[in-house]
Amino acid sequence: MDSHSPLLDDGQLHELISQLNITVLYKHDRGNMGDVLVGLHRSYGKVILKALTKRLRSNIRFHMRWERELYATTLLSNYTLVPQIFSSGLEPYPWFIQEFISDQSLERFLKGDCHKLPVDKPVRRNMLLQLLDIVGTAARHGFVHRDIRPDNIVVDKFLRPYLIDWGVVARVRTNELVKATDSTPLTKIFSGERLTEPSRCHGVIGYIAPEQSSAYYDMPSIKNDIYSLVLVAIEVLTGTGLFNGKEDEEILAIQMKLKDPDQLLELHPTLFDVFPPEIHRFLLADTARRNQDLEQLRTILLHL
Ligand SMILES: Nc1ncnc2c1ncn2[C@@H]1O[C@H](COP(=O)(O)OP(=O)(O)O)[C@@H](O)[C@H]1O
Ligand SMILES: [Mg+2]
């Protein structure tokens, strides 16, 4: 770190980095809840250090969100493509050190910032099928991610997708995995969670389902992740996102009105060159009518 590094402005973070014996290579300039640094660790090699950002350190709600992210990632990393947590702590504020996957997110791929994704449909489809597996496994263990979008998908050199950033994860039911490790305060950590809180929207409009953007008391379930997966699949397989270039309010208005395939064609004129019209059933605003079946989505992808 050079003497002009912005990290030095944050004494606590600087102290943490030296205690952990990490040589910082660079800092991700994004970061909502956390500072995300890429560094070299003496035992683990190249790692990500994620630590609660200075602005939120005094806010208990963010400490709780942090704990949820940490527990969900730790539990799921044994079962699915979620990067492993090597070590973590709560002092002087919450942090963890995580396996570094690669510097290529799906977002960078789609924008052409790094290597382009191979154009062959089977390669892209295979990546999507692996994402479906991650979401299915997580849901079987009782977790929904709720923030699936290209920026939260890191792709390794074999084009395997890893789902990162479980910061707004929700626990949707108890299950074997959680029970098996229930000496942890998991029940407390995940209890009493609403999908959104007044005037707060978890996730990013354009990828999340409309009920997640606008409703206060909707119950999270795998439907949240399936909706986002369909939007990611459209972007990956057609090269164009369904809501590309649109403002949040316009996106929400379109999502709320979406009823039939023709409306999708208006948004994305070449969509049905790749997808069958029945894909619209996964994007209906009305959750009672929306297709929420991961296996049916898998079948559609397999037949493209
Ligand atoms: N394990 C990882 N391996 C490689 N890159 C990562 C990893 N975790 C995070 N990143 C990169 O850092 C960025 C921010 O991390 P993320 O966990 O999404 O934090 P935030 O909550 O700030 O969005 C990601 O978009 C990704 O590019
Ligand atoms: Mg993120």
Enter the pTM of the model: 0.91
Distance 145 CA to ligand 2 centre (A): 11
**Residue 190 contacts residue 103 (beta carbons within 8 Å):** no
Distance 120 CA to ligand 2 centre (A): 27
Closest ligand to Cα 53 = 1
150 lines ligand 1 (CB under 6 A): no
Q: Is the pLDDT of residue 187 over 90?
A: no
Rg (CA), the chain: 20
104 lines ligand 1 (CB under 6 A): no
**Nearest protein CA to atom 18 of ligand 1, as residue:** 165
Distance 168 CA to ligand 1 centre (A): 14
List pLDDT tens digits, range 40-81. Answer: 999 999 999 999 988 888 888 888 888 889 988 998 998 899
CATH top-level class of 6-99: alpha beta
Q: Give residues with Cβ within 8 angstroms of 53, minimum separation 6.
A: 31, 32, 33, 34, 35
Distance CA 147, CA 84 (A): 19
81 lines ligand 1 (CB under 6 A): no
154 lines ligand 1 (CB under 6 A): yes
291 closest CA partner among 278, 275, 302: 278
Identify the band that residue 194 occupies on the pLDDT scale cut at 50, 70 and 90.
Answer: low
Closest ligand to Cα 32 = 1
Q: Is 199 helix (H, G, I), strand (E, B) or coil?
A: coil
CATH top-level class of 106-302: mainly alpha
Give the start-to-end residue ranges of the domains of the chain: 6-99, 106-302
**Nearest protein CA to atom 1 of ligand 1, as residue:** 100
List pLDDT tens digits, range 95-121. Answer: 999 999 999 999 988 887 666 666 678
142 lines ligand 1 (CB under 6 A): no
C-alpha of 15 from chain center: 29
List pLDDT tens digits, range 227-242. Answer: 999 999 999 999 999 9
Distance 28 CA to ligand 1 centre (A): 8
Distance 4 CA to ligand 2 centre (A): 26
Closest ligand to Cα 34 = 1
Closest ligand to Cα 168 = 1
Backbone angle region of 5, left / alpha / beta, with phi > 0 → left and psi within -120 to 50 → alpha = beta
